[in-house]
Amino acid sequence: MTRVTLVMGAGGVGKTTVAAGLAALSAERGARTLAITVDPARRLADALGTRLGNHPTPVPGHARLDAAMLDATAAWEQIARTHADPTTARRLLANPYFRAVADRFPAGQAYAAGEQVLTHFDAGSYYRIVVDTPPAEGGTAFLDAPRRIRALVAGRALRVLTGPRLPGRRLIYSVTARPALMVVDSVLGGRLLEDVAEFLLDLSAIYPGISRRSRRVEAMLQQADAVVVTTPDPGPIAEARRIATERLVTRGDPPQVVFNRMLPAAWAGAGAAGAIDPLERNLGRWGMEASRHQALLNAFAAHTGLSPLSVPWLAEAPADPARLAGLVESAGLDPVS
């Protein structure tokens, strides 16, 4: 049975480092593992030291570890070909509005990633799939993407233009839709309106398939394990608390929370910030910062009832899978449970 782990959190907290480390550790412990990034910044490729594409690529030196980076355009092309007849699929792929959904609509990119994860989930080739989610809304937008895509494909604009029962591609010029369309036509121009109409009509043809598939994506994501990453800073902590609370409400299953870039607890209270000696004064400042880190972690634990793990602050993040695996293992993360 394939297990899915979603690595979530605010932007810039080190989600990719944790995701890469989890995937590498899972592979080291004998589980065939796939790491997928949905983040367009391509940090996962840098972390794993390999070039990534839309299809899984073996990570050099790690026999059980593959990695992939979402190509939303390619994924949506496959969605169109899967759920539409060849003629409709060709029209969709040539339509600029379909390309905009694939390339620039955040829910479109997130949903395409969910489709990609489900494809590998169904294939059963991996024991674990680790997903480095995009930073939008801390990754929770990724969970909501299937519902938002269903709303887009079955939305009010599409129902007005296509009507509930009348057949035919020229339905867009029906009596019901014509008054609104005349106004739009005068503002946007006929060619643009025709492109929009073609897009919505063809989109309606793939709704049944997308509706069924999106519900399966939704179910898979709801059953996934969650690792929520934060740094010891108020903004990311608030986002992590929101994500953790939502997961507790929707699943009743607590996520694993990781405080990244933590100073050692042993430094707390070290030195004296007001000391005359520069070295002792500097040590005192680090001690005060370490105390602040621990206070924030303890407050999070008290508020949520969870027990966060700590990943230490490093001057430079590890750049190879073995060191990444060691980093998350030292924090107590267990990816194969």
Q: Would 143 be classed as within a structural domain? A: yes
Phi and psi angles of residue 130, each rounded to the nearest 5 degrees, phi first = -105, 125
pLDDT level of residue 33 (50, 70, 90 thresholds): very high
Is 261 inside any structural domain? no
φ and ψ of 214, to 5 deg: -65, -35
Q: Is residue 134 part of a domain?
A: yes
What share of residues in the chain are helix, strand, coil (percent, to 5)?
60, 10, 30
Question: Is residue 65 in some structural domain?
Answer: yes
Residue 22 pLDDT exceeds 80 = yes
Give the structural domain span for 56.
3-250+317-324
Strand 3-8 with 57-58, pairing: unpaired
pTM of the shown model: 0.83
- The total number of structural domains in the chain stands at 1
Domain containing 65 — which CATH number? 3.40.50.300
Residue 335 lies in a domain: no
Give a yes or no: residue 206 inside a domain.
Answer: yes
> Residue 283 falls within a domain, yes or no?
no
Inside any domain, residue 14: yes
Of the pLDDT bands very low, low, confident and very high (cuts 50, 70, 90), residue 189 is: very low
Q: Tokens 């939008």 map to which residue?
A: 136
Contact in structure between 277 and 336 (CB atoms under 8 Å): no
Q: What is the pLDDT of residues 148-174, one digit of tens each?
A: 888 877 655 555 545 544 344 444 444
